[in-house]
Amino acid sequence: DSGVTQTPKHLITATGQRVTLRCSPRSGDLSVYWYQQSLDQGLQFLIQYYNGEERAKGNILERFSAQQFPDLHSELNLSSLELGDSALYFCASSVELAVSTDTQYFGPGTRLTVL
Amino acid sequence: AQKVTQAQTEISVVEKEDVTLDCVYETRDTTYYLFWYKQPPSGELVFLIRRNSFDEQNEISGRYSWNFQKSTSSFNFTITASQVVDSAVYFCALSEANFNKFYFGSGTKLNVKP
């Protein structure tokens, strides 16, 4: 158990809908990272938060947004869903990767299926 | 532009064989970080190692070792005396300085047969 929790584990929804994926980082970890893994695109970095502030954006669509709350949990909001958004969404956390001894810990992922 | 290439799509070995997974990267940055991750059949992702661009020392952790060569822009991963539990997809990744963005290779699926 990595200590990172993600809910829900599975989500099935229809095109055009909006969903929210939730991530709780390990206790003490300030950074949260979101990744998408799909058959078409492989593993892609979406966005990173550090202590409530957005730190970096990767290949995140405008239909997607995220935030990190004061208690450090994070939510990834996906709207106007399309079939191509079907993927496994991972969240990871770390204290601060700039510290050489730090490690990223991954949650079990949320599998999103858009029908 | 940053890019990570894992040319080996799938490798099959017999238990106890040594195996090397290749990773070649492209970047114009002088400061960057390289990673390896493991994704076993159960699907979770596991962080294995992070190496910064100024540290070319090889790293060994048990049966795992990593060879970083800036001259060839490679960061290869060797598993010595492979075991069935090593069967997984392994991803190499590159991040910019400050870990602001990550770029992943397409992964190498390793099958270790008993």
pLDDT value at residue A16: 97
**A58–B99: do the CB atoms touch at under 8 Å?**
no
Give the position of tokens 């550090």.
A50
Q: In the predicted model, is pLDDT for residue A40 greater than 90? A: no
Using the Cβ of A56 and the Cβ atoms of chain B, whether some distance falls under 8 Å is answered with yes
Using the Cβ of B103 and the Cβ atoms of chain A, whether some distance falls under 8 Å is answered with yes
What is the token pair recorded at A56? 């970096």
Q: In the predicted model, is pLDDT for residue A66 greater than 80? A: yes
Pairs across A and B, CB distance < 8 A: 51
**A44–B46: do the CB atoms touch at under 8 Å?**
no
Instruction: Work out the average pLDDT over A38-65.
Output: 92
The mean predicted confidence, pLDDT, of chain A is: 93
Per mean pLDDT, which range of A19-33, A54-68, A98-112 is the poorest?
A: A98-112
Q: In the predicted model, is pLDDT for residue A36 greater than 80? A: yes
Nearest-by-Cβ selection for A42 from B44, B47, B106: B106
Assign A5 a pLDDT band (cuts: 50, 70, 90): very high
Q: In the predicted model, is pLDDT for residue A99 greater than 70? A: no
- Residue-wise pLDDT tens digits, B74-106: 999 999 999 999 999 999 999 987 767 889 999
pLDDT value at residue A100: 62
pLDDT value at residue A59: 83
Q: In the predicted model, is pLDDT for residue A98 greater than 80? A: no
The answer to whether B42 and A2 are in contact (CB under 8 A) is no
pLDDT value at residue A4: 96
Interface with chain B: mutation pick from A10, A43, A54, A112, highest number of B CBs within 10 Å: A43
Spatial separation of the C-alpha atoms in residues A104 and A106, rounded to whole Å: 7
pLDDT value at residue A78: 97
**A33 neighbourhood in chain B, CB within 8 Å:** 102
Put the strands of the sheet holding A19-24 in their side by side order: A5-7, A19-24, A74-78, A64-68
pLDDT value at residue A102: 76
Using the Cβ of A50 and the Cβ atoms of chain B, whether some distance falls under 8 Å is answered with no
Spatial separation of the C-alpha atoms in residues B2 and B29, rounded to whole Å: 9
**Torsional class of B89: left (φ above 0), alpha (ψ -120 to 50), beta (otherwise):** beta
Instruction: Work out the average pLDDT over B29-53.
Output: 92
